[in-house]
Amino acid sequence: MARMSVSRLQKMKQEGQKIASLTAYDASFARAFAAAGIDFMLVGDSLGNVVQGQDSTVPVTVADIVYHTAAVRRGAPEAFIIADMPFMSYATPHDAYLAAAELMRAGANMVKLEGGDWLLETIAGLKERGVPVCAHLGLLPQSVNVLGGFKVQGREQAQAEQTVRHALALQEAGAQLMVLECVPSELGQRITEKLSIPTIGIGAGAQTDGQILVMHDMLGMNSNYLPKFVKNFLTDGRDIDAAVCAYISEVRSGDFPQPEHRFD
């Protein structure tokens, strides 16, 4: 199988092939996910919650993401890896350039930023400087203190229309991938149909071009709280390898997510 790339992800969208992705934070799991055939891995700032035990992603630093990106790269040398840009590491375009350089040197193929049209100059500048960008709309975990908690975004018409406008603007600025988090399934479908770049959903319905889950959620390891959009694949006597293969298979076939995993 050919190595994953931005152009191959684009081709998968064009051909209607679903994209399966997971977060990864260390070499061992990265190796297992790559062996199972995952399309890409995200070194997410969710490591603040699931690895560091933080209450949010806000305390995560660039150094943290650099460390875990390097570990994932060592475990999966051929994988396509996206690295999250942590809270306030892209407050200005200059800040973003410096942080992105560190993440790319650590082994990332792409960086991910949370936010709307205030990022247009930053995204255009990153692309001009050779850094592929994944945008992120909907629920923005780094903005949880402003949002007042982890809430579904885009249910009101005005907010939905604004999200669509931001998605189109971010694509125009140079974003080559788009994560949509915790938005109504109808909005996820609408944005996916309007964009030429692939969309990756997490709680955004079944009509996005692909899906991503936090690996700990996919393995049912956060038993105290399982978000609505999560399914535990480590069931029915499966081991971890079988659970990952089941997840990939269900994403590609369209069997995941089911209606009970979506927001209306």
Binding residues for Mg(2+): 45, 84, 114
Selecting among 172, 181, 186, 250, the annotated active-site residue is 181
Rounded to whole angstroms, the Cα distance separating 44 from 68 reads 9
Q: Which of 196, 120, 117, 207 is nearest to 162 (CA)?
A: 117
Q: Which two tokens stand for residue 10?
A: 């684009």
Task: Write out the binding residues.
Answer: 45-46, 84, 112, 114
Long-range pairs for 61-66 at CB < 8 Å and ≥24 separation? 61/86, 61/89, 62/86, 62/89, 62/99, 62/102, 62/103, 65/103, 65/106, 66/102, 66/103, 66/106
In terms of phi and psi (left: phi > 0; alpha: psi -120 to 50; beta: otherwise), the region of 31 is alpha
161 assigned to active site = no
Active-site positions read 181
